[in-house]
């Protein structure tokens, strides 16, 4: 690993470039890039990292072994040691195949928040093993709005106390390992019904409400030693009536730095997000975010333009040079602690790691099975009587948890169930009257860019029709508990149902066991 030179030896361009983190594909080759609008090809990465001296990279895509190689490749290309980040709120396996993938954080409230420390520990171990030294986790938002489309089950809970305890435990679990932790999204993104990837949410609450609900998890995370705080692209008029949180000196410097006494890194949420990008030019965003107190500009639309713009603002006197030096000193301090060679793949997906993830997934399941004989009942022994109807948010984006070998597909198939996979939009073309009995499985959760936390409206109409025709024999819901809450009033008492926060195979198999479609281990 390269050594860190004296900050005073860096040019202004190099100093400012250290404050920029760009996105890159986790895959090694350009033809594997999945998001070309955000992920630069390797030749451009060489220029940004090696010539400009960009200070950080956030990776998406690939497997754990690939990231082990990719992280070392990027560090070799870089002029200075890199912060290599990933959005791994649910463990390293959430983004990189082969590593441990935990259920969504909200599942811990149905099992035990004590698992949060183990979750932080395992995530840190596996991240360090493959060269990731910066976790964009944990989420410190309080998801007290069931309609929240983007935080949702990414939060540890719906109350301030739940979130404070689990957030602190996650951070403490990471402490022995060379990774940075990040709480997000300051000053709180939990009580919105708008996704800041698509629009700008407004939180209308007064300062007293922020003090009671939104801010305490961040304050406790700071007390626990969190390394970074990520901003939210939200409007909070009671805190700053003129600026979004990401661009607000009062919120980032006044509240976060001065009132909460935070001394670590302040990183913006991705600057390509419409919540900020649709309201300002890239030049305005770059300068205002730095003036507000941001140390790191995450995923600017144009990294080179951003560097040049901030340099010009320093040269003109709009931004004091000391302001830039203060940020780079904080970045240098963080890099000195965590920029180390990856520890190796032997630490990834150890059996005890997988066992903890599976325990959370299976023990957080809820179910109602009035007839314990389940699908072995006489009325369903005819293999032609049952359709396995699977509803997903997006049929083209579910291969991580749904494929021909997934328990949700393979186990009903052993009973002769015919498979039918649809999204909500396709339901209007479904001829319900031609369906036999139906086993309905719904995979739906809040996620960035979805725009809504709710299932498609056609889903509830489908269930009502199936119930009225007595064709609905059981239902399984994976993902958002708020979807289950919307469906339960539609279900007769004699219809079995089960719910899992996790959409992964262990949860699928456990649910099918509860419903009688899988043999118990």
Q: What is the pLDDT of residues 402-439, one digit of tens each?
A: 999 999 999 998 878 889 999 878 888 888 888 889 99
**C-alpha dist (Å) from residue 180 to 40, 93, 177, 328, 428:** 24, 18, 9, 16, 47
What's residue 244's pLDDT? 97
Task: For CA atoms 11, 13, 16, 18, give the dihedral sign.
Answer: negative
CA neighbor of 178 nearest in space, from 115, 119, 134: 134
Active-site annotation holder among 185, 197, 233, 250: 197
Task: For residue 120, give both structure tokens.
Answer: 């932080």
Helix, strand or coil for residue 228? Answer: strand
What's residue 310's pLDDT? 98
* Element of type H or E holding 422: strand 418-423
Estimate to the nearest angstrom the gap between the alpha carbon of 436 and the chain centroid: 38
Is 322 an active-site residue? no
Domain extents in the chain: 15-347, 365-514
Is 295 an active-site residue? no
Per CATH, the number for 15-347 is 3.20.20.300
Coarse DSSP helix, strand, coil percentages of the chain, rounded to the nearest 5 percent = 45, 15, 40
497 DSSP β-pair partners: 368, 475
Task: For CA atoms 95, 99, 104, 106, give the dihedral sign.
Answer: negative
Instruction: At 359, give phi and psi (nearest 5°).
Output: -60, -45
Helix, strand or coil for residue 212? Answer: helix
pTM score, two decimals? 0.94
Instruction: At 285, give phi and psi (nearest 5°).
Output: -60, -45
Q: Are 360 and 104 contacting, i.e. CB atoms less than 8 angstroms apart?
A: no
Q: How far apart are CA 498 and CA 189, in angstroms?
A: 29
What's residue 378's pLDDT? 34
Q: How far apart are CA 219 and CA 84, in angstroms?
A: 25
Task: For residue 159, give both structure tokens.
Answer: 């109350």
Ranges of residues in the chain whose predicted pLDDT is under 50: 377-383
Active-site annotation holder among 141, 269, 295, 393: 269
CA neighbor of 325 nearest in space, from 308, 303, 306, 310: 310
What's residue 521's pLDDT? 52
Q: How far apart are CA 132 and CA 198, in angstroms?
A: 28
Angle at 313 between CA 312 and CA 319, to 5 degrees: 145
Burial of 421 (0-12, 13-18, 19+ CB in 10 A): middle
What's residue 451's pLDDT? 55
Q: Are 71 and 100 contacting, i.e. CB atoms less than 8 angstroms apart?
A: no
- Which parts of 369-406 are beta strand (E)? 386-392
Whether domain 365-514 has CATH 3.40.50.10870: the reply is yes
């Amino acid at each position: 690993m390269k050594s860190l030179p004296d900050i005073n030896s860096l040019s202004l361009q190099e100093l400012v470039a250290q404050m920029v983190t760009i996105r890159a594909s986790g895959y090694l080759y350009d033809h594997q890039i999945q998001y070309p609008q955000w992920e630069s090809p390797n030749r451009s990465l060489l220029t940004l990292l090696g010539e400009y001296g960009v200070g950080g990279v956030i990776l998406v895509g690939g497997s754990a072994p690939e990231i082990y190689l990719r992280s070392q490749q990027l560090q070799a290309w870089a002029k200075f040691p890199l912060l290599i980040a990933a959005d791994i709120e649910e463990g390293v396996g959430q983004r990189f195949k082969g590593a441990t993938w935990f259920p969504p954080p909200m599942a811990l409230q149905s099992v035990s928040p004590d698992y949060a420390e183990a979750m932080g520990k395992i995530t840190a171990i596996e991240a360090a093993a493959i060269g990731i030294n910066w976790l964009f986790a944990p989420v410190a938002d309080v998801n007290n709005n069931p309609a929240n489309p983007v935080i949702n089950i990414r939060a540890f809970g719906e109350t301030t106390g739940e979130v404070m305890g689990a957030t602190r435990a996650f951070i403490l679990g990471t402490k022995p390992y060379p990774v940075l932790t990040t709480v997000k999204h300051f000053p709180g993104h939990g009580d919105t019904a708008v996704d800041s990837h698509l629009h700008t949410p407004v939180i209308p609450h007064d300062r007293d409400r922020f003090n009671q609900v939104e801010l305490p998890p961040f304050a406790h995370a700071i007390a626990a030693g969190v390394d970074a705080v990520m901003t939210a692209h939200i409007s909070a008029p009671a805190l700053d009536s003129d600026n979004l949180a990401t661009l607000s000196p009062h919120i980032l410097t006044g509240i976060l730095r001065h009132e909460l006494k935070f001394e670590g890194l302040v990183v913006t949420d991705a600057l390509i997000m419409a919540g900020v990008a649709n309201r300002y030019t890239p030049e305005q965003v770059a300068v205002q975010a730095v003036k507000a107190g941001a140390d790191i500009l995450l995923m600017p639309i144009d990294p080179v333009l951003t560097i040049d713009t901030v340099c010009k603002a320093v040269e003109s006197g709009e931004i004091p040079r000391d302001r830039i030096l203060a940020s780079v000193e904080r970045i240098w301090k963080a890099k000195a602690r965590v920029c180390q060679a990856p520890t190796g793949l032997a630490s990834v997906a150890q059996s005890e790691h997988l066992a903890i993830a599976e325990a959370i997934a299976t023990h957080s399941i809820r179910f109602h099975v009035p007839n314990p004989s389940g699908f072995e009942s006489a009325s369903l022994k005819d293999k032609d009587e049952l359709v396995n109807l699977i509803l997903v948010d997006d049929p083209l984006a579910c291969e991580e948890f749904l494929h021909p070998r997934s328990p949700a597909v393979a186990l009903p198939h052993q009973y002769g169930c015919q498979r039918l996979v649809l999204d909500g939009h396709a339901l209007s073309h479904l001829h319900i009257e031609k369906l036999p009995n139906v086993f309905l499985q719904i995979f739906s959760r809040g996620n960035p860019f979805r725009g809504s936390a709710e299932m498609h409206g056609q889903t509830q109409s489908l269930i009502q029709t199936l119930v009225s025709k007595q064709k609905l024999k059981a239902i399984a819901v994976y993902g958002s508990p708020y979807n289950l809450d919307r469906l339960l009033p539609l279900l007769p008492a004699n219809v079995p149902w089960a719910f899992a926060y996790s959409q992964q195979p262990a949860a699928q198999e456990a649910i099918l066991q509860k419903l009688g479609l899988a043999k118990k281990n």
